[in-house]
Amino acid sequence: MDASNKSKTATLTVGNKNYDFPVKSGTVGPDVIDISSLYNQAGVFTYDPGFMATASCESKITYIDGDAGILRYRGYPIEQIAEGGDFLETCYLLLYGELPTKAQKEDFDRRVTMHTMVHEQMARFFQGFRRDAHPMAVMVASVGALAAFYHDSTDINDPHQRMVASMRMIAKVPTLAAMAYKYTIGQPFMYPKNSLDYASNFMHMCFAVPCEEYKVNPVLARALDRIFILHADHEQNASTSTVRGAGSSGANPFACIAAGIACLWGPAHGGANEAALQMLSEIGSVDNIPEFIKEVKDKNSRVKLMGFGHRVYKNYDPRAKLMQKTCHEVLKETGHQNDPVLKVAMELEKIALSDEYFISRKLYPNVDFYSGITLKALGFPTSMFTVLFAVARTVGWISQWSEMINEPNYKIARPRQLYTGQAERQYVQLDKRK
């Protein structure tokens, strides 16, 4: 195949015939070959399980350059947003495409805040779960259940109603997440408090109890807000592609987000920070690191350095740098700066970054390396780590869903396959089968 960037066409030879396909360029990033007419022209499909080299859609929301360690929301570097902005501003940016003015920001914050309560009937819905249910299972079910409350009022083809659904989602998912937590520990649900900002309100709903005054620590709330910013979107990752896939049939958006939560739950996606924290705790002391690294490098051991490596980032994950900084701030504030787990993490990172095994494979810390330690210090149990990820990613999912619905010619996601099962054979009646 000859992909010539100058002529902006790519030529594919199948048998002895040549077929030309348009090459499309984005604003930045690799060109793509538009092979949508391939089957009609040449009668063959392409084969790319896991989407290793396939762009599933066009998007204007998030850009990643994994080799350079770049992540941008709507063109703005993640470092600048995390330092200068807050999570609701990030939500506005992802949803609307531009940073809000002061008045727009105030209005947006107010609109999200006004939607944080969930229908009182939802509290009863929770009573059906076992107390030991995993909070992610509860999230899949309860966010999906919101479809039952907001179905008739959600016309997905109306941009205004799409935005109302988006606001509801961003506002209510933290309330449900806090309820999922409270339910498992047997404490009463705490209603949202409109006087608090987004992250502070979430901490209040998780950690306050009705019989005592709870004062949110602003340093910790700011840290949580930054964690939300870092996880807000990550272009066409598995859960986002799931949301787009579910939404491509025109399904209810709350049900689509529930599908995204289900996908995020898997250990290869949202569950890695829990594994990284467990690994650091098991290593226990800096003295045990050389032995652990030896095990990681041993081909037969199957031990991995959790929180290292990424399918897209072949450089330092920019979110990991920010997460490391946040981690230090949180541990200082909570008086855990001498936490042995942090010491192990820092030493492990130093050793791994200078070790030939990791350098040659371009294995760098990812966002999960420090997020587990940070979330634990904030007071969250490990079972809630992925739930917090879901709270933050909701805005990314809903922005990507809305962008797709807004496309005039969007199509149902319907991949093809390479069939390797039986060719045609004849049905045999039950009494004649051997």
Active site residues: 310, 368
Q: Which is nearer to ligand ACO, 299 or 414 (CB)?
A: 299
Taking CB atoms within 8 Å and a gap of at least 24, the contacts of 290-296 are 290/351, 292/348, 293/348, 293/351, 293/352, 293/355, 296/357
Positive or negative: CA dihedral 241, 246, 247, 249: positive
| Backbone angles phi and psi of 171, in degrees to 5 | -80, -40
Using CB under 6 A as the binding criterion, the count of chain residues that bind ligand ACO stands at 16
Q: Which is nearer to ligand ACO, 78 or 367 (CB)?
A: 367
- Binding-site string for ligand ACO from residue 238 to residue 277, where x marks contact by CB under 6 A and - marks none: -------------------------------x--x-----
Q: Could you please report the per-residue DSSP string of 42-59? A: HS-----TT-SS------
Q: Which is nearer to ligand ACO, 256 or 296 (CB)?
A: 296
Q: Which is nearer to ligand ACO, 118 or 363 (CB)?
A: 363
Task: Single out the residue of 45, 37, 43 nearest to residue 20, CA to CA.
Answer: 37
Residue nearest to ligand ACO (CB): 309
Binding ligand ACO (rule: CB under 6 A), the pick from 74, 226, 310, 321 is: 310
At its nearest, how many Å lie between ligand ACO and the CB of residue 91?
Answer: 19
From 148-156, 248-256, 306-314, 422-430, span contacting ligand ACO (CB under 6 A): 306-314
- Identify whether the C-beta of residue 390 lies closer than 8 Å to the C-beta of residue 85: no
Q: Which is nearer to ligand ACO, 197 or 355 (CB)?
A: 355
Question: Which residues, in sequence order, are bridge partners of residue 14?
Answer: 17
Q: Which is nearer to ligand ACO, 269 or 328 (CB)?
A: 269
At its nearest, how many Å lie between ligand ACO and the CB of residue 27?
Answer: 25
Binding ligand ACO (rule: CB under 6 A), the pick from 113, 242, 248, 366 is: 366
Q: Is 307 in the site for ligand ACO (CB under 6 A)?
A: yes
Binding ligand ACO (rule: CB under 6 A), the pick from 245, 309, 372, 396 is: 309
- Measure Cα distances from 52 to 36, 191, 310, 314 in Å: 17, 44, 13, 14
Q: Rounded to whole angstroms, how far apart are CA atoms 398 and 11?
A: 37
- Binding-site string for ligand ACO from residue 325 to residue 364, where x marks contact by CB under 6 A and - marks none: ------------------------------------x-x-
From 102-110, 151-159, 191-199, 366-374, span contacting ligand ACO (CB under 6 A): 366-374
Q: Is 232 in the site for ligand ACO (CB under 6 A)?
A: no
Q: Rounded to whole angstroms, how far apart are CA atoms 390 and 364?
A: 24
How many other C-beta atoms can be found within 10 angstroms of the C-beta atom of residue 420? Answer: 5
Q: Rounded to whole angstroms, how far apart are CA atoms 202 and 174?
A: 6
- Identify whether the C-beta of residue 391 lies closer than 8 Å to the C-beta of residue 250: no
Which token pair is 30?
């690799």
From 36-44, 59-67, 75-83, 365-373, span contacting ligand ACO (CB under 6 A): 365-373
Task: Single out the residue of 280, 296, 257 nearest to residue 394, CA to CA.
Answer: 257
Q: Rounded to whole angstroms, how far apart are CA atoms 32 and 227?
A: 32
3-state secondary structure of 343: helix
Task: Single out the residue of 343, 350, 375, 385 nearest to residue 364, CA to CA.
Answer: 350
At its nearest, how many Å lie between ligand ACO and the CB of residue 358?
Answer: 7
Q: Is 296 in the site for ligand ACO (CB under 6 A)?
A: yes
- Binding-site string for ligand ACO from residue 106 to residue 135, where x marks contact by CB under 6 A and - marks none: ------------------------------
Binding ligand ACO (rule: CB under 6 A), the pick from 108, 183, 308, 364 is: 308
Binding ligand ACO (rule: CB under 6 A), the pick from 86, 233, 349, 368 is: 368
- Identify whether the C-beta of residue 74 lies closer than 8 Å to the C-beta of residue 97: yes
At its nearest, how many Å lie between ligand ACO and the CB of residue 176?
Answer: 22
Query: In the Cβ-directed half-sphere of 354, how many Cα atoms lie within 13 Å?
Result: 6
- Identify whether the C-beta of residue 244 lies closer than 8 Å to the C-beta of residue 156: no
At its nearest, how many Å lie between ligand ACO and the CB of residue 276?
Answer: 6
Q: Is 139 in the site for ligand ACO (CB under 6 A)?
A: no
Burial 118-134 (b: 16+ CB within 10 A, else e): beeebeebbeebeeebb
Q: Is 293 in the site for ligand ACO (CB under 6 A)?
A: no
Binding site for ligand ACO (CB under 6 A): 269, 272, 296, 304-311, 361, 363, 366-368
